[in-house]
Amino acid sequence: MSTTPSVLTILMPGFEEIEAIAPVDLLRRAGARVILASLGPEPSVTGRCNITVLAETTLAIATQQPYDLIFIPGGPGVKHLRSDPRVAALVKAQVAAGRPVAAICAAPLVLHDAGLLAGRRYTAFPSTADELPHILHDQRVVEDGPILTSRGAGTALDLGYAMIARLLGPAKAAEIRRQICA
């Protein structure tokens, strides 16, 4: 565990704002260095509820260095992630290097496309069940090796705490939970 873990968060048009911002907020409160990267060439990215976020960089630039964790929020914009081969290659390389990837809502489809869910336990948004038939519907967050998955906007805080625990330990996750009266 490094002293200041780094997290790459990929934002695409149509990302689910709660699923992206709530975990990023928690990670930053915990002391992680979180980099927001836009999938496209422009730094501003508009989510599904028309909230525009200014990313610090683009995916093309961000992938020039390793991260302790890659986080992929869900939402209807997951289709953009699935159609961009850089994303599947990035998460495959991350896992191959023994570093974790977290995905929420429909974003586990990206992990599925990259071949990372085969033989693993996972959860995802119920509407993805046609492609992800082994969703653990009763689990808010599922961790299986380097893969962390979560169901949707209602479980965004849970995923944030799980990422903090993975990167900075359970005590830090409990501290942040107390700080926000969760």
Q: Enumerate the active-site residues.
A: 105
CB 61 within 8 A of CB 46: no
C-beta atoms surrounding 97 within 10 Å: 10
Q: Which of 137, 148, 156 is nearest to 101 (CA)?
A: 148
Q: Where are the alpha helices (DSSP H) in the chain?
A: 17-29, 59-62, 78-82, 85-96, 108-113, 156-168, 170-179
> What does DSSP say about strands 141-144 and 147-150: parallel, antiparallel, or unpaired?
antiparallel
